[in-house]
Amino acid sequence: MPAVVGGGLGDIAEVLDAGRVLRTAGFPTLLYRAAGRAMPRDVDGPWDVRGIRRSTALAPRAPRALTVAPNWGVSAAPDRRGPLGRGGPWAVEADEIERAYGRERTIHVSLEEFARTLTSVEENAERWREGGRTAREVARRRRTARFRSDSARFHREFRRFRGFDRPNVLHLFQTFRPRNAFSREFPEAVQVGPIWPDLGARRGRRARAPEQWVWYASPSSSTKFVEAIDQGLRGTPVRRVRVRSPRELAVPANSAVRWSVEPAQSPAQWRAGFASASVRIVTGSRTLLEALALGGPFLYSNGVLGDGRRRHRHRPEKIRALLDGWRARGAATSVLRDLESFSRGRRIASVVRAAATESRWTRRFPRTPPVDGFPASRRDGGVYLTHVGQAFAGGSESSSELVRRLRAESAVPG
- Note the pLDDT of residue 167: 98
Given a cut of 90, is residue 216 above it in pLDDT?
A: yes
Place 210 in a pLDDT band, splitting at 50, 70 and 90. Answer: confident
Give 141-155 pLDDT, tens digit per residue: 999 999 999 999 999
Residue type (1 letter), 48:
D
- Note the pLDDT of residue 264: 80
**Residue 70, strand partner residues:** 111
**Residue 65, strand partner residues:** 106
CB neighbour class for 114 (10 Å; exposed up to 12, middle 13-18, buried from 19): buried
- Note the pLDDT of residue 414: 65
- Note the pLDDT of residue 212: 95
Given a cut of 80, is residue 206 above it in pLDDT?
A: no
Place 45 in a pLDDT band, splitting at 50, 70 and 90. Answer: confident
For 300, the enclosing helix (H) or strand (E) is strand 298-300
For 70, the enclosing helix (H) or strand (E) is strand 65-70
Residue type (1 letter), 268:
A
Given a cut of 70, is residue 275 above it in pLDDT?
A: yes
Q: What percent of the chain has pLDDT over 70?
A: 98
Lowest-confidence range among 32-36, 147-151, 187-191, 202-206? 202-206
Mean pLDDT of 103-123: 97
Given a cut of 50, is residue 204 above it in pLDDT?
A: no
Given a cut of 70, is residue 214 above it in pLDDT?
A: yes
Tell me the domain boundaries of the chain. 10-120+124-194+376-410, 200-364
Phi, psi angle pair for 355, to nearest 5°: -65, -30
Mean pLDDT of 120-144: 96
CA atoms within 13 A on the CB side of 121: 10
d(CA 237, CA 240): 9
Question: Quick one: which of 171, 226, 175, 204 has its CA closest to 374?
Answer: 175
Given a cut of 50, is residue 296 above it in pLDDT?
A: yes
pTM for the full predicted model: 0.95
- Note the pLDDT of residue 198: 84
Q: What 3-state class would DSSP assign to 146?
A: helix
Tally of CB atoms within 10 A around 1: 25
- Note the pLDDT of residue 49: 87
Buried/exposed code over 224-248 (b: 16+ C-beta within 10 A; e: otherwise): bbbebbbbbbeebebeebbbbbbee
Question: Quick one: which of 363, 365, 370, 367 has its CA closest to 342?
Answer: 365
Mean pLDDT of 15-38: 96
d(CA 74, CA 91): 9
- Are 189 and 111 within 8 A, CB to CB? no
- Note the pLDDT of residue 82: 87
Give 262-271 pLDDT, tens digit per residue: 888 888 888 8
- Note the pLDDT of residue 180: 97
Question: Quick one: which of 369, 299, 365 has its CA closest to 332?
Answer: 365
Structural class in CATH, domain 200-364: alpha beta
- Are 65 and 1 within 8 A, CB to CB? no
Residue type (1 letter), 41:
R
414 or 171, which is more confident?
A: 171
Buried/exposed code over 3-17 (b: 16+ C-beta within 10 A; e: otherwise): bbbbebbbbbbbbbb
Place 208 in a pLDDT band, splitting at 50, 70 and 90. Answer: low
How far, in whole angstroms, is CA 161 from its chain's centroid? 19
* Ordered DSSP codes for 25-56: TT--EEEE--TT-PPPTTSSSS---TTEEEES
For 97, the enclosing helix (H) or strand (E) is helix 91-101
- Note the pLDDT of residue 200: 46
How far, in whole angstroms, is CA 143 from its chain's centroid? 32
Q: What is the mean pLDDT of the chain?
A: 94
- Note the pLDDT of residue 9: 84
